[in-house]
Amino acid sequence: MGTGTPATETTMTSTRPTTRNTWQRAAVRDLLENSAEFRTAQQIHDLLKEHGAKIGLATVYRALQAMSEAGEVDVLRTVDGEATYRHCSSGHHHHLVCRSCGYSVEIAARPVEEWANEVAAANGFTDVGHEVEMFGLCAECSKR
């Protein structure tokens, strides 16, 4: 089909996001924005279906992938390598995650940023980035 590419190829902004707003992506985004916990793609899929949404698993993966690339969500790996996602504020930050209930808090780490740069420089490394995640028991879970 669509044989000849229409010469109507005007000077349209090529850098257009080319990303469409579907209710599926909105659903994933909404769900994440209402949770302070990291969830796996499959958990998100299940939750959405419980909510009555008829959405495909592959779509959830694609939405999450897009959102993470856009910096809208944070991705963390569980000990066994599963990816978990959480809505996040824009900008650089880290997390303090409860390993019991999954509750998490975003934390700024100004001191760490500086320390990281120093260490990197001291070792001759350049273009350095870092990952810092903390795991423990939140106040609630600590009581039990």
Partner DNA sequence: AGCTGCATGAGAATCATTATCATTATGTGG
Partner DNA sequence: CCACATAATGATAATGATTCTCATGCAGCT
Stretch that binds a second copy, among 19-27, 35-43, 44-52, 112-120 (CB under 8 A): 112-120
Q: Count of alpha carbons within 13 Å of 99, Cβ hemisphere only? A: 8
Residues 26-45 that bind DNA (CB under 7 A): 40-42
Distance CA 55, CA 64 (A): 13
Residues in the chain: 144
Of the candidate residues 33, 77, 92, 101, the single one contacting a second copy (CB under 8 A): 77
Q: Which residues on adjacent β-strands are paired with residue 96?
A: 105, 134
Tokens encoding 138 = 């939140």
Considering only 2, 4, 52, 81, the residue that binds a second copy (CB under 8 A) is 81
Residues that bind DNA (CB under 7 A): 1-2, 5-7, 12, 18-25, 40-42, 54-59, 61-63, 65-66, 80-83
